[in-house]
Each structure stands twice: as C-alpha cells, then as structure tokens.
Amino acid sequence: MPQHHPPKTPAETAAPTTRVDSAIRAITDYIHGEGLKVGDRLPSEAAFAESLGVSRTVVREAFKSLSAMRIIEMRAGRRAQVCGFDGTVIALSLTHALRTEQINPPQMWDARRAVEMRTVALAAMRRTDAEATALVDLVARMRDSIDDPARMTEQDIAFHVAIAQASRNPLFPVLIASLTSAIRETNPMVWRHRRDEDTRREVVEAHAAIAQAIADGDPEAACAALAAHFDLASRALVTAGFN
C-alpha cells in the first residue's frame, strides 16, 4: 500500500538559507546589537569570518550585498562603515519597475501627489527663512532653464526634495527623491509636447506659486498650489500619451 506522509510545513518547503544569507543577518544583528551609528566602522572581514565560522569569501559576499543595499559603505583600503539613510535603492527599484512597465508614470505621479500634499503643508509651517529663499532661487533657475529639459528636470527634482527637507521629517526627502527620480524618464517626452513658451512658463509659475505659499507660511495655499501643479502635470502626461 502507498505510504501517506503528512504535508510539509512552510519551513520545510522554503528554500534553504545560504551561508551568505546567514552572514548578512549576523552582520546586521551586530550593527544593531552594538548600537553602531552612521560612519561607525565594522570589524574586519577576517574577524567576522572567525566569529561566524565561515570563510572570508562568504563574509565578502555578505559585505557586497549589504553595500548594494546601502546598509554599509565599502571603500578601498578602509574598513566597512555604517551607511547613511538614502533613497538610492528605492529609486533604482522604482525606475526598474517603470522601465519594465510594472508601474506607469500616472501611478508614480499619483503616489507623489499623496506624499507631497503632506510635505508641502509641513514645509509651510516649519521652513526656515534660508529654505524659503532657496526655493525661490530654484524657481529662478527653472525660469533660466525653460528651453533646457535636462537642467529643468534636475531643478524640478531639487525643488521638491527641498520642500521635503523643510518638512523636518527625515523620511520624506528619501521618499520624494526616490519618487521624483522617475521623472528623468518622463520629463523629456512630456516637455516635447510643451512646444510654446507660454505653456512652459506655466509650469515654472506653478512652482513659483508653491514657493511663495511656503515663504508666506500658508499651508492651505501651499496645498492648493501643489494640487494645481499636479493637475497641470497630469494633463501633460495624458497629452504625451501616458495613460
């Protein structure tokens, strides 16, 4: 008679954990357990290899993976150190998703709108005089770059990240930098459909209205100006064929 075996548990059917995976967890546990901060150095690869009972090759691969995830930073001739929090990995992942059509530009803009409605309100309440001046300066640079889509795009990104920084929540600049990085993909195509100078200046003036509301310390006006800006951008995306 055929033997009946009980079904395997999820743990039994899961892919086996590799030594590199285990080393990655051990290294991150060490960072957190020792209370290491940004810039603090880690023990050497040799030290980790000895304490974990694995080869230096395993630890080296774990270090490379952690470096790619921006958890540690590796430099030639120096011990690895704890990396600062940034949006590099998120931005790469979002750009990949956009290029492989797992998400589309309107979906990205919708996510940005949801997050930035909060950042612009906080910026209006918390910005410093220097930050308000910096936003106005960025708008002036955008005016000077009206016929240069590449420069305009970089200043556009800088403008929205600066607003997020003025919110005083360190998570927002990372999220906004990650979400806005995708406009490097779409802006050149959208900008081609803004053929006349008046249409292009309309975009700059939308940013000017946001900057002014933040400088005035008026969160309601800042949210209204941002909403108008995103409405303008959404229509441009449709015109450019992004549905």
**Tens-place pLDDT, residues 159-180:** 999 999 999 999 999 999 888 8
Please write the tens of the pLDDT for every residue from 220-238: 999 999 999 999 888 888 8
Whether residue 90 has pLDDT greater than 80:
yes
What is d(CA 119, CA 155) in angstroms, rounded to the nearest whole number?
18
- The span from the CA of 119 to the CA of 122, in Å, is 5
Residue 11 confidence class, pLDDT cut points 50, 70, 90: very low
Runs of H (alpha helix) within 193-218 = 197-215
Summarised one tens digit per residue, pLDDT across range 106-160 is: 888 899 999 999 999 999 999 999 999 999 999 999 999 888 888 988 999 999 9
What separation, in Å, do the N-terminal and C-terminal C-alpha atoms of the chain show?
Answer: 60
Residue 80 predicted with pLDDT over 90: yes
Q: Are 207 and 137 in contact (CB under 8 A)?
A: no
In angstroms, the CA 203 to CA 232 distance is 8
Residue the block writes with tokens 């357990």:
33
Place domain 88-239 in its CATH homologous superfamily: GntR ligand-binding domain-like (1.20.120.530)
The alpha carbon dihedral of 122, 124, 125, 128 has a sign of positive
The β-bridge relationship of strands 72-73 and 81-82 is antiparallel
What whole-number percentage of the chain has pLDDT above 70? 93
Whether residue 115 contacts residue 176, with contact meaning beta carbons closer than 8 Å, is answered with: yes
CA distance 97 to 33: 34
Query: Distances in Å between the alpha carbon of 123 and those of 83, 174, 195, 214?
Result: 27, 15, 32, 6
Q: Residue 200 pLDDT more than 80?
A: yes
Residue 237: CB atoms within 10 Å: 19
What are the sequence ranges of the domains in the chain?
10-82, 88-239
Query: Which pLDDT belongs to residue 208?
Result: 97
The whole-number pLDDT of residue 13 equals: 40
For residue 17, name the pLDDT band (cuts at 50, 70, 90).
Answer: low
Residues 59 and 49 sit within 8 Å (Cβ to Cβ): yes
Model confidence at 219: pLDDT above 50: yes
Q: What is the pLDDT of residues 33-42, one digit of tens each?
A: 999 999 999 9
- With a CB cutoff of 8 Å and minimum separation 6, the contacts of 122 are 166, 167, 168, 169, 172, 219
List the structure tokens of 193.
């459909």
Q: What is the CATH number of domain 10-82?
A: 1.10.10.10
Question: Considering the entire predicted model, what is its pTM?
Answer: 0.78
Element (H, E) at 72: strand 72-73
108 neighbors 182 (Cβ within 8 angstroms):
yes
Fold: same for 10-82 and 88-239: no
pLDDT digits (tens, 9 = 90+) for 59-69: 999 999 999 99
State both tokens at 6. 């009980």
